[in-house]
Each structure stands twice: as structure tokens, then as C-alpha cells.
Amino acid sequence: MITSAENSFTIAASASRDQAFKHALLAEDPYRVKDPKETAVFVSEERYSDHVFRGILPDTGAAGTSNAGMPQVRALMRIMPSLKIEEAPATTIHFGAGSTDSIGIVRVPTLFGNITFQVLPTATPFLFSITDMDKMHVRLDNLTNRLIQADLIVPVTRRWGHPWWLLEPAASAAFHLTETQLRQLHRRFGHPSVERLSRILTKVGQEFDSNLLKRLTDICHHCQLNAKAPGRFKFTIRDDHEFNHEIIVDIFFINGQPVLHVVDSATAFQAAKFLNNKEQKAKDLWDAIMTCWINTYLGPPEWIVHDAGKNFGSAEFKQYAKGLYIRVQEMPVEAHNSIGKAERYHGPLRRAYQIIDAELGNALTNDQKLQMAVKTINDTAGPDGLVPTLLVFGAYPRMTDDSPPSFNVVQRAEAIRKATSEARRALAKRQVRNALSTRNGPDTTPLHTLPLQSKVRVWREKNGWQGPFDLIAMEGETCTVANEAGIISKFRSTIVQPYLEDKDTILADNQPPQQQTASEGNADATNESNADVNQDGAAVDSIVVAVPAAMETPRQELPRRGPGRPRKRLIDEQYFFDALKDPSERTELLESITTMAFLTTKEQGDRDLAVLLRSKGLIITPGQPFEISGRTEIDNLIARGVFKFELYDPVKHAKLRIFDSRMVNEIKGKDTAAPYEKSRLVIRGYNDDGKAFILTQSPTIQRASQRLMIAIAPCLFQRGIILWIRDITQAYVQSQTPLQRTILARIPEQLRDRYPEGTIMTVIKPLYGIPEAGTHWWVTYSTHHRENLQMVTSTYDPCLLISGSDKFGIIGMQTDDTLGLTDLQFSDLEEEELQKAAFAAKPKEILTTENPLTFNGCRISLNAEGGIMMTQKGQASKLQIPTTNQEYIEQRARGAYLASICQPEAAFDLSIAAQRKEPTSDDFKRLGSRIQWQIDNQNRGLKYIPFDLEKAKLFVFVDGSFANNEDLSSQLGYIIVIGTEDQTDNDEFLVKGNIITYSSTKSKRVTRSALASELYSMVQGADIGYAIASTLKLITKQLGIPDIPMILLTDSYSLYECLVKLGTTKEKRLMIDIMALRRSYERREVHEVRWINGEDNPADAMTKASPNRALRTLIDKNKIAIRVEGWVERKKDEK
């Protein structure tokens, strides 16, 4: 046999002999340059015809552009019908001394990508130019006859002395699964990832092209638009799990008695237990699971999957599961296929029990017969010959004397491995077979296009179609539907359809649409042969719902209550003061009116306690309970000039509202040996229309300011500085500024007998119950500190003041409470000036190890090492798991309040909960989980330790999560820490310090990129960082120590590059914030910007539901190791 090489050598030798003979006869020079002709390319018309596609010729220098002749393009279009010749500007292609113009382009998809060929009106092959090969990074290895692109290798064939790249379908015929079948499997299995689909096909033994499968996934429109594709409910590829990873629980009935059925999802191993008909609470179900599964076999599983139900889905059941670190998953309503393994085994277990019951009768108890039925099912081989007992225990049960002896541990392990591998292979084969042969399910596209709040109808197994209901949410293939009573349920999209309403039909009042359709159909049944067609010939829905007799009686329409609190007046003021001019008649009318005082539970309890203490002699004040204390209160207010008495003038007071007033009585000193009665005059200022035109919100100290004082307090104790609080007695009535409007009030009922008839009070100074009273007191108290104590306010909080004299002092004001961090000289000065101002106040309380302080909802305690612990003072006792929408709002607010005090770990979850206007069951679960954590960790708070304040730095950790909220908005967060840093090896530094403030908020600005969310979070953190740093500058100036520099830390490399390397961004609106940060960086308002490792960023817990452990480490140990990825060295004298 002659090889191609030998054949080429023979042809070359023959051609040389012919050329020599021709030269001898004609004396022609074959190397002389001849005149060029128009046609210089000669090809075989038959070789490159439109009948057979020859392939692609790579690595050719014939032209600078890939091109192909029209006949070969037609031949390829027969193989690839999707190819089309597109119009394009003509390109001149040169072949040697000739040239031709292209008539269009064709884009050929290949393994290396799409290649654009210029189509020529010539009989030439597909030429893959060296220029395009360079662009696509493709190289030709002529020694091994391969085309190589990175890791992709394609073989080529030598023909006619050239390498040819074949694209015929025969080139991929070696793979068993075609592209069409791979597309079908990809769709049938719910668009899984390439790795998961490859794994199951490998188990089956099918051969496939993994690169083709990856390409199909990459170009899939569904996979590109959805991060997680909603897979079909019937074909779900599950990861390989072992025994006891996931159990499926369900309740079914045997002979009218409920049975708890437990099935392991990996091995189909089962357990069951009878339940009491009357006791199926969450505690009973949990005890049954513990008895028949957890305490009997391997222990608690990782997952418990159950059908929709109140008992399994209750907070109590989930709490039991959480105690054993078990996660619970609830399937939607009417989605039995989701737990099909348990549903399929109900029948065999029921049948086995009935056979045993028929054979044994009453010889055994029902529980014993049920256990025998379960044992029978577990020891019975399935359709593939696999026994669940073998999969779990690695051995067959002994039946007779001839049964082999029990295996040892090694043999059992090998048996389990082989049986599990065979089970997985059989399951994968069945899944592929069913996916390829099953028809499409219901079309849910119309449902996905419905707007929220649209009407839908739901199919129920017992009652058929039900509705119309409101569609309130769509999450994948799960529809959240609210019925007429407002009860929210979840259904799969396959049993939900849009409800079509007839706009011309007018429904009767208080009658469901289905009921009216049914009644009209019954009434007209004798007159019309087709009740499903109206007069216009349009078909209407004939599906109706039977309404129970109890619902047929129309409900009475209750009167709608208007917004706001109803106000009840005993008599109209205008009629009282204008119509009755005679004083005698006015007195008679006053005596006829009975005014009732609505006492709160606390007031009534204090009144009862006053009577009890008087009977025991602990209170010896003369008169009736609270009589003397009430008169003393009025006398003191009169002495302070708070109000004055005058007779009502119908002309002067005609257009003024007269408020009611009352005495609020309570027992003080209940925990002491000398309790006493105290009364306070309060104006009933509700529904005050005049407050809309005045400032009523009085400033209070910010949490950041409060934590700033406590954060630096342990560092200053060694300097002789103390931390103390002071409570001002009756702060509002001690205001020194008069009211800016006229307030009239009636005298309290208990004191009317002391004044003439028709006497009213004109309030001159602030009094409790008046909206602007708090603002007047803040002005008075703040002015006292600024003028008498020579203090200045901080740069961001008007209630945080720093001493401007040589005496060190920091004061935080919270209404009538004062928190002070001062030296002894300033403390004495504050006491002296307080007495000069004649402010009534309680004695000052100083923080010691035996005397903790309570301020602004916090409990501040001092330990023996000089550290401070800040926790909540008891609000956590009011927390409970929410079950209704109103409780959701209440508990969310309570949890957020605790998080703002001393629990930053809960800030993100409660921020997300605050964004839910209509919470779903999943929202209730997430909030309940966080509330439960706060209930379990009531004593968890923030610890503050001493450090060297002269070496301190202000660390601002920032983080942003792009579009991670339900409405695709971004979550922004930051944490600010003051402390010292110690450099360690491997570009790592150890931060030791205290948390000052933190935040987790939803971005109000639109974010179009991850860089935008990171930038906005840095802007927020830097803003509050500037304010705290400027306030610290005032403090360090008083202490005579260096200023504390501020350092910004982010885990975003792109943001770091923009700030320190003058990078830019396509979103020009972001450049405003970037330039502002750069200017601060240049002015050294920001001392450093560091790029840190994402796992070491504690602000990660402010933006993610599953954060890293950096924040927890910082709270527990007050120190954290930070790995720095990038930073800029800045000299101390750098300007």
C-alpha cells in the first residue's frame, strides 16, 4: 500500500523530469516573470462544489480575512440550516495576482466561537485566515494535527496536502446524547448547573460532550436571567446525601386513626407511630418523632421536610427542632408531589398493616402490628432489588437457619457503599428516562405575567376550583394567595389560574361571585338550554363553588369607624360659656355633670397600694390618698409661676380651646422602707391642632454619642475621671422660657372645690402633657451647661457637650437624665452651678462595681478589670414570637430598639423586617428566628475595655450588598470602632478597641452596580466618621493628647482603586462622591484608606443574612485580626 507521502514524492519526481525535458526542447525559463492576468487562481470546480462540504482550511496566508466560496457556503448551509448570508459592505479579497469582491458574510458557530467568513463568488474552500486565528487565540500544531485554544483541542485531518478542520455531524457522532437531547434534559431537569447534570449523566453511563453542555447552559435565556431556575416539581435533581440527612414526615390514617409516617429521603428507610386523635399538637408530634426516629436510630437529621400544616409549621415545633440544630422546610399547599416519597409509601404501609391485622386480629396491640408492618416494608426489596435495611445497616435480615452469619464492620461498610452506589445509579437512570419521555406540564406563563393583587382561582382536591382570591406574591413557582378572610396560603403555580371576570355582570351585595353564578344558573335552567353562554354569545366560567348553609345569610354591614381616636365631649364649650350667662345657672349645670376619670392599670394599682400602705402604717400622710401630694404639686407650680388662675371671659377666651387636666398619682419608693405618694399635674393635650405650627420634638442624645462616652471611659478611669448620672426632678416644670402660645385648661376635679366657680388655668410655662414642653426644657438645660459650665456642643449632636475650660467634662442629656464623664473638679462645679440655678434634682450616682447605672434604656455596669458592660435593662422580657401582622409590627419595633442599644448582630435582620409592608409566612419565620435569638441572649451586650488612648485610631468598616433586598435595592452598613492596632506578620494587624456605632439601612438612592452600593456605604460611614472624629478632637484637646486619625476600611478592590489610584467609573454621578472622598483623603481628614480581606470585615454582618464571624469575634473579644490586601504608605509630615 502506497502512503500519501510516497505518492507525493513520485509526483514531484515525475514533474521534475517533465520540466527538464521541456527546457531541453524549447529553452524556456520557467522562473521568468510574466505579465499578470486577471485570473491567477485555478481550482477544481468539482472539489469545492455545493454538493459536499469539505471543511475549513486553517492557517492560510492567501488573504488577510477569512473567506469562503459560494458553493461551499451552500454545502454548509445544508448541514446547518440556521446559517444565513448577511448583507455587508463589499470587501476585496486578493489571491496572488488576482482579486475579487465579497457579496456578503456568513457567521459560522464553532467550538472556538463564531467565525465571520466573507462570501465570494468563486469555487474556493472555507479559508480560516491567520489574522482571525490570532484574534481568537487559536494555534495550529502541524506535528500533532490539532487546533488548540487554551484547554480546548480540536483534531484536524490532512487531505490534498493541507490540514482540514471538519464540521460534519459525523464528527460528533461518537457522543451518545445529541444536542437536541441535551437541550431536552436541560429543560426537563429545571435548568440545573453543568456540574449537577454532568454528575447524573455520568452515573447513568451516558456519553456526552461536556463542552457542548456548558455552551447550552451559557446561551440559555432562562439561566442567564435567573440566578436560580425554578425547576419542575416532578424532576428535581438532588445532591447525593447519606442516611439521616433529610427525613420526610407526614400524617395519614389507618382505620380512622392518625399515623405519623417518617421516610428517609436517601434510602427510603421508614418509621411510623400511632397518634392520639385528640392530641396532635406540636409537642405531641415532636415527641412522636423523637420516639420513632431520633432516639431510635442515628440521632437528629439535618432537615425535616413536611407538608403544609399548622402543627409542623408552628413556632413551637420549629423551636424544638432548633434546639437539636435541625432545619425545617415546609412545602406549599396541595403540593404532595414535593414530598412524593412519603406519599407513595402510605399505600404499601397501610396495606401491610391491614394484612397483619387480618391475620393476627387482637393477638397483638395496634402499635406492635404497625411496627411489624414497618419492618416488613424496610426488609422488602424495591423495584430495583434494593432493600432499605441493607442501605442503612449493610446487611440482610436473618430469616432462617440457612441465612449467612452476620457481617463484620468492614463487610457492612463495603455492603453499604455498594448498595448506595447502585441505588443512586438506579435513581439517576429512572430520572433521565422519565424526563425524556414525559410531556410538558401546565403552562404557567399567563400566571407569571399577572400583576400583583390580580384575581386568581385555586384548585383544591376536595372542593375543586375555589376563588376568586388575591395574588399577593410570586416567588419562582410558588404563589402566595390571600382569601376573603385575609388568610395567606402558598400554592404551586400548576394549580393556580387567572380568574376571568365579566365586566358587564353586576354582583349582588355581600354575595360571592360563585354563589351568584350558581343561583342565576339554577333560576334560568328551565329557560335556557346552555347556561354557559350569555346573550352576547361569550362563554363564561361554569365552575361554581357550593356555599354552606351557614354562609347563605348575608352579613350585616358594620358601620365604618373613622381614623383617629374618637373624642367624646360632655358638653359643648361654646354652648356652656355663651348660652349660660347667669352664674347661678352655670353652677347648677356644673353640678349636674359627672366627670369620669379613666384610670390606667398602673394608676389603679398605685391607688390600691396607697390604701394598703396606709392601713399598715407605712404612709402616715393625713387626708385621703394622694390628697396632700396633689395640693403640694399645685402649690409648687404656682410658686414657680407655671400657671395662674382666672375666671373665664366669653369675649377674651371665645376662640381658644380649653384643655382638660388631671392628676397622675403614683407611689414612689416601692422598693424602700419609706414609700411616699406623689402627684403630677398633666394637661390632656391630645388632638392639639395648634402643635402643627410649633416645634414639638425635643433633642435627645444619639446612641453613637452615648457609646462614644462609654467607649473612652475605661481609658480615662486611671486619670481620676468618673462616670455618673443625674436625674432632674420634674424637669418640664423647671423650664425658664415661657410658652409662645396661650394654653387654657380646666382645674382638676380634685381641686375644684378650692377655687370659685368658672375658674380656669392659664398655663404660662411648660407643663407635662403640652407638646412643646420638652423643647423648652432642653433649651433651659442646654443653656445652663453652655453658659454656666462653659461647655460647647459637639459637631453632630446638640445633646453632647464638651467642656471648654481647664476642667475636663463630657455631658450627655436625655430629657431629664444626665450622663457625665468628668473629673472631680468639673463634677464639683456642676453640683455648685446646679444649686445656684435652683434646679430640683436627685443626688448624683457614680458608677462603681457595686453600683451599676441605668441611662436611656441601658444598664451600665463596671467589672473588676476596669471594663464596662452595656446591656438592655429589661425590655427583652416583652419579646415574643409574632403570629399576626400587628404582632409582627410590635415585635419588630421592640427587637429593633434592643438592636440599637447593644445588639448589632440583629441590626440587619430587623432592618430587612422593617422593609416588609405585607409580611409573608417566610418573613414571620425570619423575624421569629431573630426574636428568638434575642430572647435567648437577653444578657448579651457590648463590652468596653481600656486601651491606650494616645495611640488610638478611629476605624470605619464599610460594606454594601448590591440589590440583595426583595425590591432589588441595596443594603448599606458600617461599623465604627475606636482602638489601637498592632502590626503582625503577613500584612496583618490586630485591632483592639470598642464599638462606637453601627448601622444597617436600605439605600434610598438607586444603585446600578456593586461599586455604587459600596461607595454609598462608604459615604455614610465616612460622614458619621467625620463627625465623631471632630468631636474626639475636642476631647483630645482637653486631655492634651494627639488627635485620633480616621481610617476607612473596605473589602471592595474597585472602590479602593478609585480612591487611592485616581480611578474612574462609567457612572459619572458616582464621581461626585468619589471626588469628595478623595478631597478628604488629600486634606488628611481621612488618614488612610485600606483594602482588607472580605472575611475580616465586621461590617459584613450589617448587609448579609449569613455573614462572616468577624463581628461576633469583635464583640466577644474586643479585638479582631485584619488581613490587609492593599494600602498606601503616608508619611507623618505629608501634606
- Interval 577-634: pLDDT, tens: 343 344 444 444 334 333 333 445 677 777 888 888 888 788 888 888 888 888 888 8
Give me the residue label for grid cell 457542548: 212
pLDDT at 812 over 90: yes
Average pLDDT score over residue span 475-491: 79
CA 1027 to chain centre: 30
Percent of the chain with pLDDT over 90: 19
- Tell which wins on pLDDT, 246 or 18: 246
Whether 165 and 58 have beta carbons less than 8 Å apart is answered as yes
Average pLDDT score over residue span 105-123: 87
Q: Which residues of 1026-1056 are buried (b: 16+ CB within 10 A; e: fewer)?
A: bbbbebbebbbebeeeeebbbbbbbbbebbb
Whether 954 and 1028 have beta carbons less than 8 Å apart is answered as yes
Sign of CA dihedral 639, 640, 645, 649: positive
Predicted pLDDT at 824: 92
Model confidence at 1023, pLDDT cuts 50, 70, 90, reads very high
Tell me the β-bridge partners of 473.
480
Q: Which residues of 1066-1088 are buried (b: 16+ CB within 10 A; e: fewer)?
A: eeeebeebbeebbebbeeebbbb
Whether 65 and 135 have beta carbons less than 8 Å apart is answered as no
pLDDT at 1032 over 90: yes
Percent of the chain with pLDDT over 70: 76
Predicted pLDDT at 679: 86
Give Dmax over CA atoms of the chain in angstroms: 158
Distance CA(934)–CA(899), nearest Å, equals 9
pLDDT at 712 over 90: yes
Predicted pLDDT at 1034: 92
Distance CA(855)–CA(859), nearest Å, equals 7
Predicted TM-score (pTM) of this structure: 0.49
Predicted pLDDT at 968: 87
Model confidence at 328, pLDDT cuts 50, 70, 90, reads confident
Average model confidence (pLDDT) for the chain? 78
Predicted pLDDT at 1115: 92
- Interval 188-240: pLDDT, tens: 777 788 777 887 777 766 666 777 777 777 667 666 545 343 344 444 455 55
Within 10 angstroms of residue 178's Cβ, the number of other Cβ atoms is 15
Domains of the chain with bracketed CATH:
56-164 (2.40.70.10), 187-219 (no CATH), 233-386 (3.30.420.10), 394-398+407-434 (no CATH), 445-498 (2.30.30.140), 947-1129 (3.30.420.10)
pLDDT at 1091 over 80: yes
- Interval 131-175: pLDDT, tens: 888 888 888 888 888 888 888 888 888 877 788 888 754 343 334
Predicted pLDDT at 442: 64
Predicted pLDDT at 410: 59
Kindly provide the residue ranges of all beta strands, DSSP E only, lying in 734-790, ordered along the sequence. 743-746, 759-763
| CB burial of residue 1100 (10 Å; 0-12, 13-18, 19+) | buried
C-alpha cell at 1036: 483630645
- Interval 381-406: pLDDT, tens: 665 567 787 777 766 666 656 666 56
Distance CA(337)–CA(344), nearest Å, equals 9
Predicted pLDDT at 543: 32
Whether 761 and 744 have beta carbons less than 8 Å apart is answered as yes
For the ranges 73-77, 403-407, 976-980, 1109-1113, which has the lowest average pLDDT? Answer: 403-407
Distance CA(462)–CA(269), nearest Å, equals 31
Average pLDDT score over residue span 1052-1061: 86
Distance CA(1060)–CA(685), nearest Å, equals 56
Predicted pLDDT at 486: 67
DSSP 8-state class, residue 874: S
Model confidence at 1050, pLDDT cuts 50, 70, 90, reads very high
- Interval 1100-1123: pLDDT, tens: 999 988 888 899 999 999 999 999
- Interval 748-803: pLDDT, tens: 877 777 778 888 888 888 888 888 888 888 888 999 999 999 999 998 888 999 99
C-alpha cell at 336: 404532595
For the ranges 147-151, 634-638, 845-849, which has the lowest average pLDDT? Answer: 634-638
- Among 75-84, 139-148, 1026-1035, the range with the most confident prediction by mean pLDDT is 1026-1035
- Tell which wins on pLDDT, 81 or 366: 366
Distance CA(76)–CA(108), nearest Å, equals 9
- Interval 520-535: pLDDT, tens: 334 333 333 333 333 3
Predicted pLDDT at 517: 36
Distance CA(591)–CA(692), nearest Å, equals 35
Whether 186 and 231 have beta carbons less than 8 Å apart is answered as no
- Interval 833-844: pLDDT, tens: 998 988 888 889
Predicted pLDDT at 334: 58
Predicted pLDDT at 868: 94
C-alpha cell at 144: 500533532
